[in-house]
Amino acid sequence: MKRLLSVTLILLFGTLYGHDIRMAIFEIYEGDCGLVMNVSADRYYFSQTLKNEFPSRFKDEHFEQITWEYLQDKVAIEIDGNCTAFEINEIEYSEENIFIRGKLNLILDDVKEVKMTNTCMIDFIDGHDNIMKLKLNDRTRSFRLNSKRTSTTASYKE
């Protein structure tokens, strides 16, 4: 009886542990050369999304270009009234994730307001969330954007 209970618990917790969380994390912070954004997403879902969006151009030699185009189309960040332009510096892959690092091409001393819109993967992956994590002005703040809420504004006014 104990053996049956043990096997049942292992199967139950093994299934729960393997639950798929559909999210990407967009982290914005002050780097050495201005504002920086790192994106971490599920490698499979991100690739499938790009394949769906760019079916004729989805090839290894075009991956960085279509990644940039996709992010330009799906993510809008305005800081203190200035629109940012994401420039990809590096794409790194792990077995399960893709890491996209780059600059926002904006240098500010003190951020007062960040307006964010993010619709990455929400049209293609049911239940997908985009976590916008801001590490600015010595504060860390996180916002969840998804199909129910695609935009938000973070205020840093004192």
User: Judging by beta carbons within 10 Å of its beta carbon (0-12, 13-18, 19+), is residue 109 exposed, middle or buried?
Assistant: exposed
Q: Say what the pTM is.
A: 0.84
Position 76 scores a pLDDT of 97
Residue 132 domain-assigned?
A: yes
Rounded to the nearest integer, the mean pLDDT of the chain is 88
Residue 100 contacts residue 39 (beta carbons within 8 Å): yes
In a domain, 115, yes or no: yes
Beta carbons of 155 and 113 less than 8 angstroms apart: yes
Burial of 134 (0-12, 13-18, 19+ CB in 10 A): buried
Residue 14 lies in a domain: no
**Residue 80 resides in a domain:** yes
Tell me how many domains the chain contains.
1
Q: 147 is in which domain, residue-wise?
A: 22-155
The three-state secondary structure class of 36 is strand
**pLDDT tens, 72-87?**
999 999 999 999 999 9
The answer to the question of residue 7 being in a domain is: no
